[in-house]
Amino acid sequence: MGSAAVAPCVLVAAAALAAAGCGGEDSERAEVRSYLTRVNDVQSAQKDVLVRADTVLRGYAEGKSIGAPALKGVEADVRRLRTAVAALSPPAPARDVHSRLLAIYDLDASLVGETVRMVEYQDTAPAVLEPLDRASRTLRRDLGRARQASTQARALDRFGDTLGRVSTEMEALDVPVLLGPAHQAQIKRLASTRKLSTQLQSAVRKKDSRRVAKLLLRFRRNTTSKRAERALTHRGITAYTARLQQLTEAQTELGRAQARLNRTFRTS
């Protein structure tokens, strides 16, 4: 996907929360320290989950090949970790930190889940489109060789059948939210190509050479253009980078909440 900026996943250093000035315990301070210690214990026990999630997000954003085995169960693992942290009852001074920490887990799990769907879609969609690429090459060859209108019409008919099957399969794909607009643009392009194919077939049968020439030019542009594929990639990168930025901003807000909590218990 290129070089999108990547924020680390959760991996929140909860230990830092407990470090600043929580000595000389009163009961409230002791409750905060106990809560932070429990958060640390939960995170430490599940650190491999966060490392896995971080590896997935970093790898995908950096354009590395992320296979299905690396993705298996990552979202569910992050959500289980989130549930474990949510089960901890924070004292009143730590509630802001607690809620922001849970929000990061929510964003993290959502982004990992969306990454899984994007990887699956980007593996599947090219395979679905491949028969159409072959059919387009075959059609150009057949139209170039054909000497009769009936032969050209049959070639267009075969292409139309393939185009219909591919369109149906594309519409049936599980489309990730981040690639939804680009997927719809691809579906629209397929529909436009199908319409042109039908019009061209009609013009060929009517032996309307002038209309055939105009439609053939448009048809060739439509079947050889890579604009839709480039748009798919560009929109995916843009949307994914925006989601990563949300995660970065959430971590920044958590850091500020941590600092506020530390200042509350800073010794004078």
pLDDT, position 214: 83
Residues 6+ apart with CB under 8 A from 168: none
117: left (phi over 0), alpha (psi -120 to 50) or beta: alpha
Mean predicted lDDT score pLDDT of the chain:
79
Beta strands of the chain (E only): which ranges? none
Angle between helices 47-61 and 227-264 (to 10 degrees): 140
pLDDT in tens, 25-75: 678 888 988 898 899 889 888 888 878 887 777 777 777 777 666 777 888
State pLDDT tens for residues 93-105: 999 999 999 999 9
Angle of CA points 44, 247, 79, to nearest 5°: 50
- Summarize the confidence of residues 128-155 as an average pLDDT: 84
Provide the 10 A C-beta neighbour count for residue 19. Answer: 11
Each residue's pLDDT tens digit, 77-91: 889 999 999 999 999
DSSP 8-state assignment for residue 72: T
Domain residue spans in the chain?
A: 15-118+241-264, 120-231
249, containing H or E segment: helix 227-264
**Is the pLDDT assigned to residue 1 strictly greater than 60?**
no
Contact 7, 248 (CB under 8 A): yes
CA-based Rg of the chain, rounded to a whole angstrom? 28
Q: What confidence score (pLDDT) does residue 234 get?
A: 63
Mean pLDDT value across residues 15-27: 53
* Cα 268 to Cα 237: distance, rounded to the nearest angstrom: 48
pLDDT above 50 (res 254): yes
State both tokens at 145. 């060789």
CB atoms within 10 A of CB 179: 23
CB atoms within 10 A of CB 98: 18
Q: Which CATH class is domain 15-118+241-264?
A: mainly alpha
Residue 58: closest CA among 240, 262, 266, 253:
240
Among 76, 1, 11, residue whose Cα is nearest residue 251? 11
* pLDDT confidence band for 9 (50 / 70 / 90): very low
> Is the pLDDT confidence value at 246 over 50?
yes
Check if the beta carbon of residue 178 is closer than 8 Å to that of residue 118.
yes
Residue 13 pLDDT > 60, yes or no? no
pLDDT of 103 reads: 92
pLDDT of residue 4: 40
DSSP-assigned states of every residue in 17-53: HHHSS--S--HHHHHHHHHHHHHHHHHHHTHHHHHHH
Per-residue pLDDT at 229 exceeds 60: no
- pLDDT at residue 16, rounded to an integer: 45
> How far, in Å, are 61, 63, 123, 138, 257 from residue 233 at the CA level?
12, 11, 13, 27, 36
